[in-house]
Amino acid sequence: RVGIATAAGNNGKWVRLNVGGTVFLTTRQTLLKEQTSFLYRLCQQQDLHSDTDETGAYVIDRDPTYFGPILNYLRHGKLVYNKELAEEGVLEEAEFYNITPLIKLIKERILERDCKAAQVPPKHVYRVLQCQEEELTQMVSTMSDGWKFEQMVNIGSSYSYGTEDQAEFLCVVSKELHTPGGGLGTEQSHKTKVRQRMEIGSAPHTRTALHCWSCTRACWE
């Protein structure tokens, strides 16, 4: 139960509340901010009787930790609370005191928090492309939007074309992948397989590098 006692000699301007053993001192004007709230009724309706403590302050059997944000909202119209406080706890008190605008504000804050928690940072997917030396310029210039060049590895001449051998290259390209929710699906699996083979280094073994390209092409095509 809740009660209010006015400080002596202040003509009813100041109001003293004992919430869970902690005394809060505020003004009558502050408690009258929201006309639908229980605190407003408490100030306006003198027939609401409640227990008082030894100082004459009326009491409320609630957690004083969460009453602070409630009182501050009535004071300046903003929802301010310590980071360690749970929004659900503040919402519970706002509903108890029936402060409608604050209830709406806290629910929006909780929704915003949950949406941020559900978002997944962009992941990077990789492709390894094999090309000949004369194809490098065209490949880079025609690269699809969003893909960027990461690494190029010379794997030597693997095939003969006519009388001359052409150098073979592995080109590693990457792209950010935005996925909704918490699931990465098969894209994550493919990316993991590729990353396990990305430690190519400056002088890779040709057979290992070609296996990497073959696996990646199979995954992405």
| pLDDT per residue as tens digits for the range 111-150 | 999 988 887 777 888 888 888 888 878 877 777 778 888 8
| pLDDT per residue as tens digits for the range 154-163 | 886 555 555 5
Distance of alpha carbon 34 from alpha carbon 102, whole angstroms: 10
Write the DSSP assignment of 159-219 as a string of letters.
SEETTEE--EEEEEEEEEE--STT--HHHHHHHHHHHTT----SS--HHHHHHHHHHHHHH
Distance of alpha carbon 42 from alpha carbon 16, whole angstroms: 12
Question: What CATH code would you report for 123-220?
Answer: 3.30.70.2000
Residue 76: what pLDDT? Answer: 92
Q: pTM for the full model?
A: 0.53
Distance of alpha carbon 152 from alpha carbon 204, whole angstroms: 11
| pLDDT per residue as tens digits for the range 45-65 | 665 666 778 887 878 889 999
Q: Which superfamily does 5-118 belong to?
A: Potassium Channel Kv1.1; Chain A (3.30.710.10)
Whether the pLDDT of residue 1 is over 80: the answer is: no
**Domains of the chain, residue spans:** 5-118, 123-220
